[in-house]
Amino acid sequence: MIVVRSFDELTNDPNSVVTVGTFDGVHLAHKEIVREVVHRARMREGRSVVVTFDPHPKEVVTSQRGPVSLLTTIEERLEQFSVLGVEMLYIIAFTYEFSRQSSEEFYRRYLIDGTGVSEVVVGYDHMFGRDREGKTGELVTMGKRYDFSVFAMHPFTVDGQVVSSTQIRKSLAAGDIERANKFLGREYSLRGTVVRGDERGRTIGFPTANILPDSEKKMVPLNGVYFVGVTVREQTYFGMMNIGVRPTVSDASRRTLEVHLFDFNEDIYGEEITVRFISKLRDEQKFASLEELTRQLGHDREGSLKLIARQQERQ
């Protein structure tokens, strides 16, 4: 996959099939759109192109400016698009000035004169241009003017619910990992560097790796204890992760992320790991003593081992 980050790097192919969007999460509905782009490009013997934005438009647009909880960093999106067979990914630096273009100005400069376009594939709720003024009907009219066709996807549903980034964020905020994963079509993950903590876990038989996420914008699920898969040095382990303020051992309000890996006892300080959230075990809670906490962690481990056994049975 060719990755382009500058307009000057673009090559124009008038037979390109293009889709445009932020695609945060690259969830099941996004994947359907991208697969359609790849399929239609092959049918036309053309080029499949995804145009996306970084940073997320909501970080920039005045009416919506503020913290954004990302489901995927731009690097994670890039990896997902590559797996789906996209030939060119064009990442546009999203600025306030860029956002003030009209919908037609955007399409004319970045698609018609930029990537080239024979067909545009859009989601059912596609909106674009200044203040998201452009809608699918306007895009169809524009296509007639500039000689490209438009294919609009139907809503993609799972269990009767429309899949969207908003719904996945709501699920993660509620600790509903299973629903989030079902909509994503994979296990929600985050990457981070292992940093030093107070090493209290070692004293009670549950050593943990404290994680500093690679991106402060990346969404972290609701506080609680989770059954997770962890990739370390290209090897995968199971474990359990605590997200929260550790009320039993600390009065601080700072949120921490720490993971205990099963059957693992290596020094990985300073290394990057990837955590995949599989299931929520319980809410975070305050215990009366370290002994009570240790007993509960033992129960959490037993529950996790049962989940591992179930996974192995399904394989």
The answer to whether 197 and 256 have CB atoms below 8 angstroms apart is yes
Residue with tokens 């489901």: 71
Q: What percent of the chain has pLDDT over 90?
A: 73
Q: What is the mean pLDDT of residues 12-18?
A: 97
Residue 5 has a pLDDT of: 97
Residue 192 has a pLDDT of: 96
Residue 201 has a pLDDT of: 57
Tell me the backbone φ, ψ of residue 192, rounded to 5 degrees.
-165, 170
User: pLDDT at residue 134 above 80?
Assistant: no
User: pLDDT at residue 16 above 90?
Assistant: yes
Q: Which fold has domain 188-314?
A: Elongation Factor Tu (Ef-tu); domain 3 (2.40.30)
User: 191-208: per-residue pLDDT in tens?
Assistant: 999 998 766 656 566 888
User: 117-127: per-residue pLDDT in tens?
Assistant: 999 999 988 76
Q: What is the mean pLDDT of residues 85-113?
A: 94
Q: Which fold has domain 2-161?
A: Rossmann fold (3.40.50)
- Domain range annotation of the chain: 2-161, 188-314
Q: What is the mean pLDDT of residues 258-265?
A: 92
Q: What percent of the chain has pLDDT over 70?
A: 90
User: CA 281 to CA 225: how far, in whole Å?
Assistant: 5
8-state DSSP, 186? S
Query: Under 8 Å CB-to-CB from 69, ≥6 apart: which residues?
Result: 169, 217, 218, 219
User: pLDDT at residue 253 above 80?
Assistant: no
Residue 254 has a pLDDT of: 80
Task: Read off the pLDDT band of 63 (50, 70, 90).
Answer: low
